[in-house]
Amino acid sequence: MRVVILCSSPYSETGCAVAARLAQVGYAPVGALTLPSWDRKTLLRKIGQWGLRHSLHYAVAKLVPGKAANRQQVLNPYLERSLRHDGGIFRSLQEVSRAFGFPVMTCGDQNSPGAVAQLKQWSPDLAIFTGGNILRDEVLKIPRLGVVNSHLALLPEIRGMSSPEWSLLCGVPLGITIHFMDRGIDTGPVLLYREFAGAGDCDSLTDLRNRMISEGIELIAEAVAGLDRGTVSAVPQADRETDRQFFVMHERLKAAAMRRLKKGEFNPVAGRCDG
Amino acid sequence: MATTTIRVLSEVAGLLRAPQRVVPLFMKLASDDLRTTFEHRHLYSYATTIIPAADALQSVVGWILDAQRPDGGIAAYYSLLTGYSDSYPEVTGYIIPTLYDFDRMAGDTAARSAAERATRWLLSLQLQSSAFPGGLRSRGGDARPSVFNTGQVLQGLVRAHAETRNAEILERAVAAGDWLAAIQQGDGSWTGAAAYQGTAHTYYSMVSWALAQLADESGDQRHGAAADKNIDWVLTHVQPSGWIKGINLHGHPAYLHFVAYVIQGILECGILRRRDDAIQAAAKSAWVVLRKFETHKRLLGTYQADFKSGQKFSCLTGNAQMSCVWWRLFEVTSDLRFLNAALKMNEMLKQLLPLKGRRGVLGGVAGSYPIWGRYQPMRFISWGCKFLADALMMEQRLMRNFEASECA
C-alpha cells in the first residue's frame, strides 16, 4: 500500500504522528507533502486559534533547536507514543522521514500544479489528510483509493469545524470518523467510526481534543491496514443533502461546552443542531 | 450623472463650510485604509469577545440620542463632510421600538423620553390620507405618501401605543394601516405612486411586519390579512437558491441592507402570523447568508441574483440586520449555529464601531466599511445604529437566557 501524508506544516505534531504511526505498523509513507512552516496564512490562523502567546510559545518550542531538545515534550501529550523514538521525540516531518526513509516536499498550496505533479509521481494508493488546503477534485482523484481524513465527530451528525465542542452542545455522542474526502465538507464515504469513551477523564476541551486526535490516529492506522487487507470498505453517508455543517465555535459557546464536559453531561437537551 | 455630480459637490461644499471636519474625516479614512490593508480574516476571526456588548450598546444608543433633532425626529445620518442631516421619518419610526427596548434593558429614561418626542414628531407629519411622507424633512420636505415609510413609522406608533396606552396613537396607527390595506394591489404587493420608483418590492415585507404588529396590538385582523397577502406575494419570489428576487431597485445594486430587509420582514411577519412557510423561507435564505459569513468572515456589500457575486465593501447595516435575523432564528428554531454566527457578527461590528471620537462619530455605524464604500459613503447612519443596537440587545437577552439554562 503506497501511502502519502498531506500536512499543514512540517512541524505539525499530528502530521508527524500519523506518518510515524503508519511506519510503526508497517505502512511507511512513500512521501509527505506539506505546506511551509512559516506560511503567513497558517501563522495568522494559529494566532487566531491559540492566541499570540501560545503561538509564540509553540514557535519557540518548534524552531529553537536547543530549547526544543531540552524540553523533549509535545503539545499533545497523547501523541507521545507515536512520536517517541530511540533518539527522543520526532519534532518535524523531516526527522520522521529520515528515520523511515521517505521524501518530504514543501508546497505553497496542495492544489498547485507542482503539488499535483509530485503526488502523481508518487502514484499513491491512499493519501492521509492531516491538514492544509481545501482539496480540489484534481488532487482528490490522484490516490487510487482516495484521500482519507480523521474527523473528530460522528458523521453525518456533525460536519465541519469545532466538531467535539458541537457534539457536546448538541447532545450527539462524542466520536471519531475516518472517511474518504469528497468535494463536500466531511460528506465522503465512511471507513470507520468509533464512539469516544474517554470524555469523563478530560479536564478541558483541549484535553478532549488531544485525546480524540490521538485515538483518530490509531483509527487511521486501522483503516489503512483494513483497506490493505480488504477488511474495511467505504460506506456512503446517509443524509448527504441535509446541511449539517458546523463552523468555528465562539468562545461563549465553548464555555458552555466546557461546563457540560465538566459536569459529565454528554447528551444534554437544551440545544438542537439539525439542518 | 448630473444629479450625482451635484450631490458630490454639495457634500464637498459641506466640508468648506465646516473645515474642522477635515480632521475626523482624514482620521477615519486613514484608520479604514490601515485596517483594510493589514486585516486578515480567518476561520477563527470574531470567535472571541474583545469588546463587551454592553459598552458597545451604550455607545450606539448614545449616537442615536445625539442624532435626535430639535423637532424630535432622528437624523438620517452624520456625514463626515456635511454633518447631521435633517430628521428622517422612516428611521425615526423604527428607532422608537429600539429606544423603548433600551429603556427596558438599561433603565435609561433618556431613551424613553427620546422615543416619546419622536412619536409626537411623527404624529405631526401624518398626511390627510393617513399615510406618512417619504424623504428627509428638509425645507418643507416631501409631502407625498410613501408605503415603505408609512410601514416603518407604523412600527414606531404600534410600540409607542403598547408603552403609553395613548388611544390617539393607536387611532392614528390604525388609520395608517387602513391606508396601506386600501392601496394594496390584488396580488398583495404595493405599486404605484406611493411605492418607491413606482414599482413593487419584496423588501416591503417590512411593511407587512408592521401591519402584523398593528393587528396584534389593535386586534383588528384586517391588517393581519393584508400582511398575509403581501407575504404570500413575497414568497412567490423565493428561488431554490434561497435568493428572494423582486428587490427591484432601478439604478442601485441589491445592497445587503435590502436583501436583509426582505428576510427580516418575512421572518418577523411569519413569527407574528404563525406562518411556518414564511419562517422556513426566511431560515433558508438566512442560512445561505450565514454560510457565506462563516466561510469568508465577511459579507459582500451587494449581491446579484442567487447570491452569486457582488461588491466587496461591507454594508454594515445589512450585517447588523442579518445578526438580528440569526438571533431570532435561534429563538425560533433553537439551532445554535444561528446563535454562533450572530455572536461573531456582533463581534465584527463591535470591532468596527468607533468607541472614541467626536459627536456624530462616536458609536456610529458607518454606511460602508471601508467608509468610502458604495453604500452611504462618508456617513454614519441612524438605521445602521438601530439595527446594531437591536442585535446587541438580542445578544444580551438571549445569551443571558442561554447561559442561565446551561448553568441550571
| Counted domains in chain B | 1
- Chain B residues bordering chain A (beta-carbon distance below 8 Å): 40, 42-49, 287, 291, 294-295, 333-337, 339-341, 343-344, 347, 399, 402-403, 405-407
pLDDT of residue A86: 82
pLDDT of A269 above 50: no
- Of B214, B142, B144, the C-alpha closest to B178 is B214
Confidence of residue A273 (pLDDT cuts 50, 70, 90): very low
Q: Which residue of A has its CA nearest to B38?
A: A44
Domain assignment present for B275: yes
Q: At what angle do helices A163-170 and B336-351 cross, to 10 degrees?
A: 130
pLDDT of residue A191: 97
Confidence of residue A72 (pLDDT cuts 50, 70, 90): low
- Read out DSSP for B120-135? HHHHHH--TTS--B-S
CB A252 to CB B406 under 8 A?
A: no
Burial of B109: CB neighbours in 10 Å, binned 0-12, 13-18, 19+: exposed
Residues 6+ apart with CB under 8 A from B289: B259, B260, B263, B299, B307, B322
pLDDT, block means (10 residues), chain B with 408 residues: 74 81 89 86 86 95 98 96 94 97 95 98 96 76 86 98 97 98 97 93 98 97 97 98 94 95 98 98 97 95 93 96 98 97 97 92 96 95 98 97 86
What range defines the domain where residue B97 resides? 19-407
Average pLDDT over residues A109-137: 95
- Angle, alpha carbons B288-B292-B294 (nearest 5°): 115
CATH number at residue B79: 1.50.10.10
Question: Which pairing describes strands B77-79 and A175-180: parallel, antiparallel, or unpaired?
Answer: unpaired
Residues of chain A with pLDDT > 90: what percent? 68
Contact, B314 vs B298, CB < 8 A?
Answer: yes
CB B43 to CB A256 under 8 A?
A: no
pLDDT of residue A122: 96
CB B343 to CB A250 under 8 A?
A: yes
- Angle, alpha carbons A85-A88-A91 (nearest 5°): 95
Residues 6+ apart with CB under 8 A from B33: B370
Confidence of residue A274 (pLDDT cuts 50, 70, 90): very low
Which of B46, B334, B337 comes nearest A246 by C-beta?
B337
Domain assignment present for B145: yes
Per residue in A188-230, pLDDT (tens digit) is 999 999 999 888 899 999 999 999 999 999 999 999 999 999 9
Question: Which pairing describes strands A84-85 and A88-89: parallel, antiparallel, or unpaired?
Answer: antiparallel
CB A41 to CB B48 under 8 A?
A: no
Q: Which residue of A has its CA nearest to B406?
A: A256
Q: Which residues from chain A sit within 8 angstroms of residue B42, using beta carbons? A: 41, 44-45, 48
Average pLDDT over residues A30-51: 77
pLDDT of residue B251: 87
> Could you give the CA distance from residue A22 to residue A102 in angstroms, rounded to a whole number?
12
- Higher local confidence (pLDDT), A85 or A30: A30
Size of interface A-B (CB pairs under 8 A): 72
Domain assignment present for B7: no
pLDDT of A272 above 50: no
Q: Which residue of A has its CA nearest to B405?
A: A270
- Least reliable range by pLDDT among A169-183, A198-212, A254-268: A254-268
CB A272 to CB B333 under 8 A?
A: yes
CB B49 to CB A248 under 8 A?
A: no
- Read out DSSP for chain A? --EEEEES-TT-HHHHHHHHHHHHTT---SEEEE--TT-HHHHHHHHHHH-HHHHHHHHHHHH-HHHHHHH---SSGGGHHHHEETTEE--SHHHHHHHHT--EEE-S-TTSHHHHHHHHHH--SEEEE-SSSPPPHHHHTSSSSEEEEEESS-TTTSEESSHHHHHHHHTPPPEEEEEE--SSSS-SPEEEEEE--GGGG-SSHHHHHHHHHHHHHHHHHHHHHHHHHT----BPPS--SS--EE-PPPHHHHHHHHHHHHHT-SS-SS-B---
Three-state secondary-structure class, residue B9:
helix
Which of A248, A259, A274 comes nearest B407 by C-beta?
A259
Q: Which three cell numbers stand for residue B204?
A: 416591503
What's the CATH fold of domain A149-275? Rossmann fold (3.40.50)
Model pTM?
A: 0.92
pLDDT of A275 above 50: no
Provide the residue count of chain B.
408
Neighbouring-strand partners of residue B369: B314
Q: How many Å lie between the alpha carbon of B348 and the closest alpha carbon of chain A?
A: 12
Q: Which residue of A has its CA nearest to B401?
A: A270
Whole-complex ipTM: 0.92
- Chain A residues bordering chain B (beta-carbon distance below 8 Å): 40-41, 44-45, 48-49, 161, 166, 169-170, 243, 245-253, 256, 259-260, 270-274
Q: At what angle do helices B256-272 and B221-235 cross, to 10 degrees?
A: 130
Confidence of residue A271 (pLDDT cuts 50, 70, 90): very low
- Tell me which of A248, A251, A269 to substitute to probe the interface with B (most B C-beta atoms closer than 10 Å): A248
> Could you give the CA distance from residue A29 to residue A104 in angstroms, rounded to a whole number?
10
Q: Which residue of B has its CA nearest to A250?
A: B47
pLDDT of residue B79: 95
Domain assignment present for B399: yes
CB B402 to CB A256 under 8 A?
A: yes
Q: Which residue of B has its CA nearest to A274?
A: B335
- Tell me which of A159, A242, A247, A265 to substitute to probe the interface with B (most B C-beta atoms closer than 10 Å): A247
Which of A41, A245, A259 comes nearest B406 by C-beta?
A259
Q: Which residue of A has its CA nearest to B39?
A: A44
Q: How many Å lie between the alpha carbon of B322 and the closest alpha carbon of chain A?
A: 17
pLDDT of residue A66: 56
CA B181 to mean position of chain CA atoms:
23
pLDDT of residue B41: 81
